[in-house]
Amino acid sequence: MSGDDISLVQRIQQVFERFDKDGGGSLDRQEMQLVFKTLCPNFSSKEISRFMGELDRGGDGAVSNTEFLEWIKAGSPAAEEVYKVILKETGDAMSARVREVFQRFDSDGGGYLDKDELSRVFRTLNSDFTFKDIEALCKELDRGGDGKVSHKEFLHWLKKGTELAQAVSKAILRETGEAREERIKKAFQAYDATGDGSLNIEELRQTLKVLGSFSEDEVRKVCADLDKSKDGEVDFHEFTSWIKSGTGPPAAMKAKAILAPSDSDGLEAVYYNFCGAGHSDMDGKSFKKLCQDCELMDKRLDLTGVDLIFADNRVKPRGQNRIDFLQFESALELLAEKKGVAKAEIRKDMVLQGGPKVAKSTSVPVIPANRKPKENLRQISQKRILSIIKRPANEPKGQETWRKDVDNKELWKVFGLDNAAGRTLKRIYSGTEVGAVSPVSAQRSLRRTPTAEMMMVGKAHSDGLVLGPKGAFSLEGCRLPTPVSYAS
């Protein structure tokens, strides 16, 4: 095969990689129609159907690299026109690089980039672009004023060579082509443990689970989107096509960012790690945790400031509770503005952190099985009330089961033996006669606390005792006190 043939084979391979959505190595009828519509928009539907008949020699509804190469080499007028476009759109030409950009960021596969997709392109290519820069770029590019930009419009703008266009051109050359291919290759090799050039889908499934950023449902969707051939193995070609494709379920886009963080500066992977399992967008709580874990909080930026930035209408519309990655990028610009630092510094801090900090586990005391936990006073009180509520009916008054009689034998100690009241109480309840009291005992009995003094006064009055001079009691026609009962 001559050098020209080798070059043509490589160029056709680039075409297949761009349009082979399922990574099967061949283009089906729908994918071939997209090839012709993209490369040669002037071809009619009837012409494309005829070309498909010429290309699909095997009659299986799919076109292989070899079949496409043979059709080009046959040299029909249509093949010549396609060949010229392939030469223009592949290789290291800027047109091919722009096509790669469109493939990566055209999420709906419509062949155009809307304002949000353009914003993501510019923020990925140059993280220093501000709100105003991106707004100006979108106005410059959208010459038709329809809110979207075609491949042709984008390429035409780059060729103008304005200051912003030159900056974008340099970034495109840096982020696409062989440079990006090499980054994807390194990511693939990191997961190819055996070095045989193939990833086992089950091992990849376990890897996604261990990462902790994916739910079971997300893992299932990612594996299904990646292993389209359903053979349980993913080779480098399949992996590359999958990473480069800008389409797929949200879980797949999340996995691409986390599995191949080197495909950009790694910030998108950090964003998804903080979104948490089961989510491809971020809520206010996760945004606040990200700021705290990345140690962005200081005198200029507190928790209230973080909440205000998340709610800012430059970040998201009013009433929206979660933000996507593009809105997250906008929030970073406001964070940098609030802290008075460059946005690149904020990005660096986040990329270095990588993901949420793991909270330290706190030990919980374990109560042995053979020992019941202690009841608190509230529980004891509740049980006491419950027992009263459930007491038997028709119990004799004063003999209820919940009552507890108090022994009054020691009641005399409240008054002491240096007065008639104390001696009388002792005689009544203990059944013993009380003789004279020694001065020492009398003096000791006078050492009463304020509480005891009050009890003495109250008791004396209730029993007809009169408080005499110097705190002495006299028995003045008193009646004998009856036994006292207290509710427990």
Residue 82, both tokens: 């396609």
User: Left, alpha or beta for 290 (phi > 0: left; psi -120 to 50: alpha)?
Assistant: alpha
Distance CA 424, CA 426 (A): 5
Residue 314, both tokens: 């430059």
The DSSP H or E segment spanning 221 is helix 216-226
Range of the domain at 148: 94-176
Whether 348 and 307 map to the same domain: the answer is yes
User: Which pLDDT score, from 0 to 100, does residue 194 have?
Assistant: 79
User: Which pLDDT score, from 0 to 100, does residue 258 have?
Assistant: 84
Whether 137 and 212 map to the same domain: the answer is no
What does pTM read for this prediction?
A: 0.53
User: Strand pairing of 282-283 and 233-235?
Assistant: unpaired
User: Which pLDDT score, from 0 to 100, does residue 86 have?
Assistant: 76
**DSSP letter, residue 64:** -
pLDDT tens for 20-59 read: 766 677 888 788 887 877 777 777 888 888 888 888 777 7
Q: What angle do CA 419, 425, 429 make, to 5 degrees?
A: 155
- Domain assignment present for residue 234? The answer is yes
Whether 115 and 69 map to the same domain: the answer is no
Q: Which residues of 144-157 are buried (b: 16+ CB within 10 A; e: fewer)?
A: eeeebbbbebbeeb
Whether 295 and 327 map to the same domain: the answer is yes
- Domain assignment present for residue 326? The answer is yes
Whether 77 and 99 map to the same domain: the answer is no
Whether 299 and 345 map to the same domain: the answer is yes
User: Which pLDDT score, from 0 to 100, does residue 3 have?
Assistant: 42
Whether 73 and 108 map to the same domain: the answer is no
Cα torsion angle, 56, 58, 61, 63, sign: negative
Q: Which of 147, 176, 205 is the last residue of a domain?
A: 176
Q: What angle do CA 365, 369, 372 make, to 5 degrees?
A: 80
User: Which pLDDT score, from 0 to 100, does residue 200 have?
Assistant: 87
- Domain assignment present for residue 483? The answer is no
- Domain assignment present for residue 377? The answer is no
Residue with tokens 């874990």: 293
- Domain assignment present for residue 482? The answer is no
- Domain assignment present for residue 114? The answer is yes
pLDDT tens for 56-108 read: 777 788 888 788 888 888 888 888 888 877 776 665 567 778 888 888 888 77
Q: How many CB atoms lie within 10 A of CB 182?
A: 10
Distance CA 242, CA 221 (A): 13
Question: Are the C-beta atoms of residues 61 and 28 closer than 8 Å to each other?
Answer: yes
User: Which pLDDT score, from 0 to 100, does residue 360 have?
Assistant: 62
For the chain, the distance separating the N- and C-terminal CA atoms, rounded to the nearest angstrom, is 108
- Domain assignment present for residue 481? The answer is no
Whether 154 and 184 map to the same domain: the answer is no
- Domain assignment present for residue 327? The answer is yes
Q: Which residues of the chain have pLDDT under 70?
A: 1-7, 18, 21-23, 88-93, 261-265, 359-408, 429-488
Cα torsion angle, 418, 424, 430, 436, sign: positive
Q: Report how many domains make up the chain.
A: 5
Q: Which of 146, 176, 206 is the last residue of a domain?
A: 176
Distance CA 409, CA 396 (A): 25
Whether 113 and 43 map to the same domain: the answer is no
User: Strand pairing of 322-323 and 112-114?
Assistant: unpaired
Question: Are the C-beta atoms of residues 335 and 346 closer than 8 Å to each other?
Answer: yes
Q: Which of 325, 353, 381 is the last residue of a domain?
A: 353
| Nearest CA-CA partner of 392 in 403, 383, 381 | 403
Whether 7 and 70 map to the same domain: the answer is yes
Q: How many CB atoms lie within 10 A of CB 96?
A: 20
CATH number, domain of 77, equals: 1.10.238.10
pLDDT tens for 328-359 read: 988 998 999 999 998 888 988 998 888 898 76
